[in-house]
Chain A
Amino acid sequence: MNPSVPGVDEIRSRAFPFPAKHFLSVTDLDPIQVGDLLALAEGFVALNRQKNKKLDLLKGRTLINLFFEASTRTQSSFELAGKRLGADVVNMSPRASSIVKGETLVDTAVTLNAMQPDILVVRHGSSGAASLLSQKVSCSVINAGDGQHEHPSQALLDALSMRRAFGHIDGLKVAICGDVLHSRVARSNVALLTLLGAHVRLVGPPTLMPAEVDRWGVEVHHDMKTGIAGVDVVMMLRLQLERMQGALVPSMREYFRFWGLDREKLARAAPGVRVMHPGPMNRGVEIDSDVADDLEVSLIQDQVEMGVAVRMAILASLAARLDNQ
């Protein structure tokens, strides 16, 4: 056995009880707790690279993935995380079932709650949906994305990817580029990265920036060339293609010309810059394939790997809290 891989008991001892019953927002955590969660996740990264990836920290627990919005990446990431920790995992896509028959979100949640799950992982297209659910059920709720509000596990996995690439987050210059207005990933990342001491810039056209975004404690740039000058990390956001119909930007080619990430623009960043993307990517819209596929600069594959580890850490920590009750 690889000596760097922590044993079950060590992981169990690191899995501190999660500070809250639910994980709805990165603002639920303080920097110490984030550090603890990331350290725990590091253990799972090592574990996940072994042949036997299974632990029993969630043995007997039931996890329901309740995804009102389609998601391959996040849903399978939570599913694998749950299964590797020994939980029974059920995937629900209410889009295809009763929700269309007029049953409300709360009705669905109350129905599922009666089946006695331990953890409900929820994604919904409306901001605040996870918080609403958490008020109506007795199990723990993890926010896997609520509208344009938050996607806290994504921010944690991004932080883990950066920490592994640079060794630290404090002092890093991070440019988050693209459709900030509609992005829950951007909101969670701004909150977490500023909490951890990074300098955050938001870069994008004015029509894709929230009002008064300059009061978020970040630098705002509309010109990508100045926006990514000297940064250590460029985090690209997905431009939902349906936003184009809202005439928020004139055309895809104009968007790519000014805010798409290519070699030329990337050359303005700091030496050793790393590129991130929460996926799925629109190649040729917000990011050039040439950059996305360059393993020297791209952390995009790492992000996916870290996603499973971070979600295992969240689940293990929530389970430790449940076990203590």
Chain B
Amino acid sequence: MSSRPILISNTRLVDPESGYDGRGALLVMDGRIAEVRKGEDAIEGPDGAQSIDARGAMLCPGLIDLRVKTGEPGAEPKETLKSAALAAAAGGVTSIVVQPDTDPVVDDPSVVDFILRRARDIGLVRVYAAGAATNGLAGEAMAEIGLMREAGCVYVTNADRPIMNSKVMRRVLAYAGGLGILVAHRPADPWLSAGAAATEGEFAGRMGLPPEPVAAETIMLERDLTLAGLTGARLMVDQISAAQPIERLATAKARGLNVIATASINHLTFNELDIGDYRTFCKLTPPLRAEDDRKALVEALIAGVVDIVVSAHAPAPPEEKRLPYDEAAPGSVGLQTLLPALLTLHHELRTPLTTLLRAVTLAPAEAIGVPAGRLKAGAPADLVICDIEAPILVDASRLISKSKNSAFDGRRLQGEIRTTLVDGRVVYDRQEGGGS
């Protein structure tokens, strides 16, 4: 599939791999980056090339989001692979990894195959599958990890159902580690976090919400780190959220443990008080933490203790959200707000763009071993052009996802996606009003 060459000129080129942030232009041919010209505004290309004048907007690698839930298969009214792909394209996200907690569960190579086939038919953004670590996510018997990898799954995880049995967790780590497969695990002690709707503290106490102590995360994290050390497996800590576990993670990393960690953009942006008068869009797992925890998370991201930022996209329709807080489903959609929210952090903190963007491009690419996420000749032309100064007001009802449960609803962000390319093809262009 050969498409027309594209010349992108007058950009602020941001490439986390080389650390470059400055004027630049870029040539796309045959779905790949053919040439990157740093320090110049223009670049020459073959006759008949399409020309895009970025007018000073940022050009960076398309985002790679390692934690996306859709409702397909099994709960299509929430979100389909197609609606998620459209939302991703509109958010500058060019690769998504869908979670295995669907119906049926992705614990079998045929379900991996189904998802990848559907994604190829849709053809918008790259879709990868994460396989279940255990059959049915029950946390008991190991799933067919090797066969799923052969079918194309990029890591295994038990999604939102932490593996309580330490023996099972040890075996998953040992087995997957031996095959060179990344294991993701969300650290949460299921007993301490059972039924929780908010983080433990003064706010949850006053609001009468069943609390989860941060200790639930710390305890499970320490177990996982210990088992990762024991087995030598590569572990990805899924959505670390509080200061205390961050401290333990930093210590483990300093000792050289083979561990990486993700944080959700929600936990980098919001704290428990954003729940306000029982706003269920802010009900998340893990729950939103205290402001000190949020600050520690941002610092950990800047320091590289947290490697990767995810959207934790989790669609939930009104019948699951328009309920009393403790009965409402957790989760927030996030594909379209991931990049604007990250850019908002850049504006607030003056953190270099290369640092922040690394966590959504190069770092996740390295985690799952894909060649995207870089601006260099030969890399896939998965790109996003974004006006990083433009203010936007998030109106959840206008999001592309089938479910509109955005924790960012009504929030002002700074950064607007103009154009998204995947494989050198434009999959979203704001002027054309999106890919829908």
* Given A148-B208, A211-B211, also A127-B202 (CB < 8 A): no
What are 7 contact pairs spanning A and B, CB under 8 A?
A: A105-B324, A126-B324, A126-B327, A131-B277, A132-B324, A184-B208, A212-B205
Query: Which 9 pairs from chain A and chain B are nearest by CB?
Result: A126-B324, A210-B205, A128-B278, A148-B208, A149-B208, A127-B208, A212-B202, A129-B324, A211-B200
- By CB atoms of chain A within 10 A, which of B201, B206, B319, B323 has the most? B206
The reply on B128 being an interface residue by CB < 8 A is: no
* Interface size class of chain A, counting residues whose CB lies under 8 Å from the partner chain: 20 to 34
Q: Mark A129-142, 1 if CB is under 8 A from B, else 0.
A: 10110000000000
Say yes or no: is A216 at the interface (Cβ < 8 Å to chain B).
yes
Q: How far is the CA of A211 from the CA of B208 in the complex (A)?
A: 11
Report chain A residues within 8 Å CB of B205: 210-213, 216
* B interface footprint on A117-130 (CB within 8 Å = 1, 0 otherwise): 00000001011110
Find out whether the CB atom of A216 lies under 8 angstroms from the CB atom of B322: no
List the B residue with the shortest CB-CB distance to A27: B206
B376 to chain A minimum Cβ distance, whole angstroms, is: 50
Of chain A, the residue at the smallest CB distance from B202 is: A212
Interface contacts beyond A146-B208, A216-B202: sample of 20 additional A-B pairs, CB < 8 Å, sorted by A? A104-B319, A105-B324, A126-B324, A126-B326, A127-B207, A127-B324, A127-B325, A127-B326, A128-B277, A128-B278, A131-B278, A132-B324, A148-B209, A149-B207, A150-B208, A210-B211, A211-B201, A211-B211, A213-B205, A216-B206
Nearest Cβ in chain A — how far from B203, in angstroms? 9
Q: Which residues of A contact B213 (CB under 8 A)?
A: 211
Interface of A toward B, CB cutoff 8 Å: 104-106, 124, 126-129, 131-132, 146-150, 184, 187, 210-213, 215-216
Q: Which of B199-228 contact A (CB under 8 A)?
A: 200-202, 204-211, 213
**Bound CA–CA A293/B146 (angstroms):** 71
In the bound complex, residues from chain A placing their C-beta under 8 Å from that of B206 are: 187, 210, 216
Interface residues of B in 177-212 (CB under 8 A from A): 200-202, 204-211
Tell me what chain A mostly uses at the interface: helix, strand, loop, or mixed: mixed
Within 8 A of A (CB), among B265-305: 277-278
- Rounded to whole angstroms, the CA-CA distance of A295 and B262 in the bound complex is 62
Contacts of A215 in B (CB 8 A): 202
For A127, the closest partner residue in chain B by CB is: B208
Smallest CB-CB separation from A212: which chain B residue? B202
CB distance from B98 to the nearest CB of A (A): 28
Q: Is the CB of B323 within 8 A of A106?
A: yes
Complex Cα distance, B327 from A106, in Å, reads 12
Task: Write the nearest CB–CB distance from B407 to chain A, whole angstroms.
Answer: 16
- B residues in contact with A184, CB < 8 Å: 208
Contact partners of B326 in chain A: CB under 8 A: 126-127, 147
Scan residues 317-343 of chain B and give those whose CB is less than 8 A from a CB of chain A.
319, 322-327
Contact between B324 and A147, CB atoms less than 8 A apart: yes
- The distance from the CB of A217 to the nearest CB of chain B, in whole angstroms, is 11
Residues of B near A126 (CB, < 8 A) are 323-327
Q: Which B residues are CB-close (under 8 A) to A106?
A: 322-323
Task: Enumerate chain B residues within 8 angstroms of A211, measured Cβ to Cβ.
Answer: 200-202, 204-205, 211, 213
A213 to B200, alpha carbons, bound, how many Å?
A: 11
Q: CA–CA, A132 to B278, complex, Å?
A: 8
| Chain B residue with Cβ nearest A181 | B205
Closest residue to A215 on the B side, CB-wise? Answer: B202
CA distance A211 to B210 in the complex (A): 11
Q: How far is the CA of A215 from the CA of B210 in the complex (A)?
A: 18
Min CB–CB distance A110 → chain B (angstroms) = 10
A128, A213, A216: the one contacting B325 at CB < 8 Å is: A128
Question: In the complex, which of the residues A128, A129, A146 has the most CB atoms of chain B within 10 Å of its own CB atom?
Answer: A128
CB-CB < 8 A to A216: which residues of B?
202, 205-206
Docked complex Cα distance between A284 and B210 (Å): 28
A191 CB to nearest chain B CB (Å): 9
The residue of chain A having its C-beta at the shortest distance from the C-beta of B205 within the complex is A210
Alpha-carbon separation in the docked complex, A150 to B277 (Å)? 13
